[in-house]
Structure 1
Amino acid sequence: MLDISTRKVAQIIVMSRELGRAEAELRAFIDALNEDEQAELVAVMWIGRGSFEVEDLQEAIQTAKQEATTPTADYLIGTPHLSDNLENGLEALGISATDEEDEVM
């Protein structure tokens, strides 16, 4: 399914909710992910906002890799409702980040 851990996505969800004070930390965290993890993160966000369906996960990942013309952190931080879209994407994939988010906080 996904190579990026639920814990990493949960960390990004929590940091994106505190963007005003955690932007530099969030940017560094996303930049530290490998290319596959970054593409999966974008794909999960796209699924969460309805740009792709769950059954199109692999296509979304490939599209994220092919269309990566700006740094992933810039793209995601500039996306409205990032935390909600990531949560919705995980839920659509049958993954709950709630427990992981609680641990991160």
Structure 2
Amino acid sequence: MLSVSPDNICRLIQLSREFHAQEGVTIPDPSGDWARQMLASHADDASLQEFNTIIADLEPDQQQEVVALLWLGRGDYTRAEWQDAIAQAADRWNPQTAEYLIAHPLLADHLEKGLELFGHRCNE
């Protein structure tokens, strides 16, 4: 069961799609601190700002759920392994959750798939 509102997840999906659809958003070579560099160059982006705000407003356990949902939708875990995904997300949690999430170019697709495994769909 999800403690994060499916509506919040759907909004994150929408914002992620808006952000990643922009020209000029590229995910550089993963060596170095690429996520921070990429996000710093888009700091004034309204979609990114709202995305960051939604994540920051979530409790850490809810942020961990969003990360686990990404992993679930990406195929790293099955629905039956949900508690394992949550435990792994809790072990890896840090205050840069928003940066970690938005740095995944297919975030929206993965979150959408993960949400569907819980029986929810976004109305777009």
TM over 0.5: yes
Specify which structure has the bigger relative contact order, considering alpha-carbon pairs within 8 angstroms and separated by 6 or more residues: 1
Between 19-28 and 54-63, the greater mean CA deviation after superposition: 19-28
Give the drift of 1:62.
1.2
Give TM-score, length-normalised by structure 1: 0.87
Give the drift of 1:70.
5.5
Q: Give the secondary structure class of the aligned counterpart of 2:63.
A: helix
Q: Give the secondary structure class of the aligned counterpart of 1:52.
A: coil
Q: Which runs of 4+ in 1 moved over 6 A?
A: none
Query: What's the CA shift string for 1:55-81, capped at 9, x where partnerless?
Result: 111110111010124511010011120
Which stretches in structure 1 are left out of the alignment for 5+ residues? none
1:31 equivalent in alignment to 2:31: no
Which stretches in structure 2 are left out of the alignment for 5+ residues? 23-44
Query: What's the CA shift string for 1:26-67, capped at 9, x where partnerless?
Result: 112111111111011111110100011111111101110101
The percent of aligned pairs where both chains have the same amino acid is: 37
Q: How many residues align?
A: 99
Give TM-score, length-normalised by structure 2: 0.74
Larger Rg computed on CA atoms: 2
Change (3 A) 1:56 1:48: same
